[in-house]
Amino acid sequence: MSHVIIGPHLITFDQIRIGQWPEMAQYFKNSLKFCQDWLNGQESFSINTSGSTGKPKTIQVSRKQMILSAEATRRFFQIQNGDRLLCCLHTDLVAGKMMLVRSMVWNCPIHIETPNSKPLKEFPSCFPLDFVAMVPYQVENTLLDPNSLKAFKNIKNLIIGGAPISATLQKKISQWPVNLYQTYGMTETVSHIALAKINGDGNLVYKSLPGVSISTTETHQLVIKAPMASQDTLTTNDLAEMVSENEFIWKGRADFTVNSGGIKIQPELLESKIQGAMSQFFPDSRYFFGGLPHDLFGEQLVLVIEMKNQDHMPSVDFSDSLKSSLDKFENPKKIHFIENFAETQSGKINRKETLDKLYQSINTGKMP
């Protein structure tokens, strides 16, 4: 029987089953309550979706789905009983919940940390961790902290999800002796259903997990058939290029496509192209491409940058750098600065809400 470690407390699965744990912060209580429900055989759990296949909603996920997901990941990484896990993702969302499920299904000890930008900061530099999941900003901040970086090198398997990883970050982390993968998945598939090896060359090819079938529609939207999914067949809003019957390259979101004068532009592809320019001129700013309504072209391509200093204007050098990185029709017609981007519940940029706020501010003459 394995256990959960929270700060100085080691709590066995038997203790969790009967609700025997010390007083602690509410976040940890909620995490342990989920584990208690699981260990006592609860068959269904409510989880909020992020909107990958439509509007965000709450769905019911079965115990069987979660077990199938955990077992597919175990086979992919060849996890052994007793391997050490770290949960540093929010356990209210599917990614964090699945880390807890993996611990219980795999019979592995798990450390639970409050989600923060440097989850390895308090770990001893020599402490081994066999399986960890993070989001990109946690990895970025881990590399900036010397203590965290020492612990990072002792991770055996790291999966990174929640948002696409930048080519710059890929190059940074690929030099370390860690088995690194970018994930593809959603709440409806109960976490990831495909993984892409990160090797630093910028080319991410996703391979589906055992038991998962993938294909694309005529409009290149990814279709998933997986035993752990909430539906027999899921047609996603993600655009993909099939490489083989079980491998694909992610191209971006169909609902983010900008149609300007009949030319369809995929923002995520442009965002990867200008990473170098953004790192040079706006290293601490988030950004994205999007479309704003235009009388003549239907939509106009714009670049939106999150910036506290509203008086800052892009330099000629920055504009020249964009032009050298992008094709003729990929250059933004305008660059807009916004103090704060709207976000989803899971912390991702809410592009639609941010663009709506920007468009409204342009019409009213007030800065967003």
Domain 257-364: CATH architecture, name and number where available: 2-Layer Sandwich (3.30)
What DSSP string runs through 119-134?
TTTTS-TT--EEEEEE
Q: For 49-104, what is each residue's pLDDT tens digit? A: 655 445 567 888 999 999 999 999 999 999 999 999 999 999 988 899 999 999 99
Q: Where in the chain is the domain with CATH 3.30.300.30?
A: 257-364
> What is the DSSP code (8-state) at residue 328?
G
pTM of the model: 0.81
pLDDT, residue 367, reads 56
Using a 10 angstrom Cβ sphere, with 0-12 exposed, 13-18 middle and 19 or more buried, the burial of residue 308 is: exposed
Mean pLDDT of 28-33: 97
Nearest partner of 318 among 291, 282, 356, judged by Cα: 282
pLDDT, residue 292, reads 93
What DSSP string runs through 26-50?
HHHHHHHHHHHHHHTT--EEEEE--
Q: How far apart are CA 148 and CA 116, in angstroms?
A: 12
pLDDT at 365 over 80: no
Nearest partner of 95 among 121, 115, 75, 122, judged by Cα: 115
Band (313; pLDDT cuts 50, 70, 90): low
Higher-confidence position of 125 and 45: 45
Q: For 114-169, what is each residue's pLDDT tens digit? A: 999 899 988 887 788 999 999 888 998 898 888 898 889 899 999 999 877 877 78
Phi, psi of 354 (to 5 degrees): -65, -45
pLDDT, residue 368, reads 54
Q: Where in the chain is the domain with CATH 3.40.50.12780?
A: 3-253
pLDDT at 223 over 80: yes
Strands 213-216 and 334-338 come out as: unpaired
pLDDT at 311 over 60: no
pLDDT, residue 213, reads 96
Higher-confidence position of 264 and 49: 264
Q: How far apart are CA 187 and CA 269, in angstroms?
A: 24
CATH placement of domain 3-253: 3.40.50.12780
